[in-house]
Amino acid sequence: MIVEVIAVGTELLIGQITNTNASLIGARLAEEGFDAHYQVTVGDNLGRLAGAIEAALERSDAVLITGGIGPTQDDLTREAICQVTGRVMTRDPEHEAWIKDRLRAQRRSVPDNVLRMADLPEGAEAMPNSNGAALGVALQHRGKWLLALPGVPAEMRAMLDSGVLPRLHQSSGSSATLHSRLLHTWGLGESEVADRLDDLFATVNPSVAFLIRDMEVRVRISAKAEDQETARLLIAPIEEEIRARLGAAVFAVDGETVEDLIVVRLGSLGWAVGTIEQATLGQVGARIAEHDRSVFAGTVIVGREGGEVTAPIADVVLTVGPIGGEVSPGRRITRAVEMTVTTPDWATTRVFDLGGDDERVRSFATIAGLHLIRTAVESPDGGT
């Protein structure tokens, strides 16, 4: 079943609010085995919203709309559904009475516009709202579901699970599920990962895709099957092949982070880590300390002018130098940051050429510093 998501709200278009609903809905649909080929964001305009719904109905089996079912004049989702389907608006008398009783119990007035949250297009089913007042809308039109949810995330999430997904499963008649495995890599560029895995991107089930975050390239393997265990079995040989091609660049899976690996390894060695940071302004140490202060010996932040400092007393010490001047290898401007990591048995120094302004260099240098610590504690005898 193909499900299209429409997020409603001018505030989403102009960046006043981040569209987290579309992201969450997309993830939940994927987990439940539904396909989503389009996500659309549309402002609070009746004509444009109706047009978006009509287009979605043409190319999808169900349309899920989030936002625009509140009490104010710019909440137009119900009206747009009526316009598209040729239906009139009706009111749920029980929910209208509930709204009135709730407001009166709070010694508040009952303005006419608040009662709009009890309105439904003719023939629609009401989806109860366990976290708010606006009813959700579930309407079948030309054999396809039109499902309208609140834009408030807490209200939307509850209604998605209780009202939307059960209807979609019943209509599709399928119990398929989607399972994904995420491999985290570091040390290889995006283009190199793509080149090594080139032929695997043509596979359909499992499918292979990659995501970039900071300096890490993440490879996602996704399989659709009747159950999670079957999906895992489909993924396993592809994961083995990817690991063989990328080697030690793969350092973590799924929700693991570089900080997780550092603190676990330090704990097993009985070691602590400290940092001396200039370019990164203490961010490497802060991220480790946030995870587990028991393995953290402290951070010394070096000012712009540098100078001698006393290192924290620790088994592992990372020293991050200043942001260097600009160099231009080819057309790309980079700025060098030198780092040294020492353990009780060895020391190594690396220079990272990072592009961008100070903020971007600082962010990338923080990731590089964490990975330098990780590789040091994974091979405490000096291996690489």
DSSP-assigned letters across all residues of 196-264: HTGGGGG-SSSEEEEEEETTEEEEEEEEEESSHHHHHHHHHHHHHHHHHHHGGGEEEETT--HHHHHHH
CA neighbor of 249 nearest in space, from 113, 384, 134, 358? 384
> What gap in Å lies between CA 156 and CA 65, rounded to an integer?
10
- Choosing from 253, 278, 306, the residue where a domain stops is 253
Count the domains in the chain. 3
141: number of Cβ within 10 Å: 18
- Could you tell me if 21 and 168 lie in one domain? yes
Same domain as 164, residue 39: yes
Q: Which residue among 207, 231, 253 closes a domain?
A: 253
pLDDT < 70: residue spans in the chain: 174-175, 327-332, 380-384
Do residues 353 and 374 both lie within one domain?
A: yes
N-term to C-term CA, the chain? 48
Q: Tell me what pLDDT residue 384 has.
A: 44
Give the containing element (helix H, strand E) for 363: helix 358-378
Q: What is the pLDDT of residue 67?
A: 95
Amino acid identity, position 72:
T
- For residues 353 and 335, the answer to whether their CB atoms sit within 8 Å is yes
The parent domain of residue 201 ranges over 179-253
Same domain assignment for residues 10 and 110: yes
In a domain, 384, yes or no: no
On whether both 67 and 114 belong to a single domain, the answer is yes
Assign residue 297 the CATH number of its domain: 3.90.950.20
Same domain, 58 and 168: yes
Gap between the Cα atoms of 10 and 74, Å rounded: 9
Co-location of 235 and 266 in the same domain? no
Query: Are residues 276 and 341 located together in one domain of the fold?
Result: yes
Q: Are residues 34 and 158 in the same domain?
A: yes
**Contact predicate 158/228, CB 8 Å:** no
Residue 383 lies in a domain: no
If asked whether residues 264 and 128 sit together in one domain, one would say no
What does pTM read for this prediction? Answer: 0.71
183 and 149 in one domain? no
Domain end, chosen from 146, 172, 198, is at 172
* Tokens 């719904």 found at: 53
Rounded Cα gap, residues 324 and 335, in angstroms: 5
The Cα 167–Cα 50 span in angstroms is 23
What pLDDT score was predicted for residue 274?
95
CB 197 within 8 A of CB 183: no
Q: Which pLDDT score, from 0 to 100, does residue 381 have? A: 65
Peptide bond between residue 206 and the one before it cis (omega within 30 degrees of 0) = yes
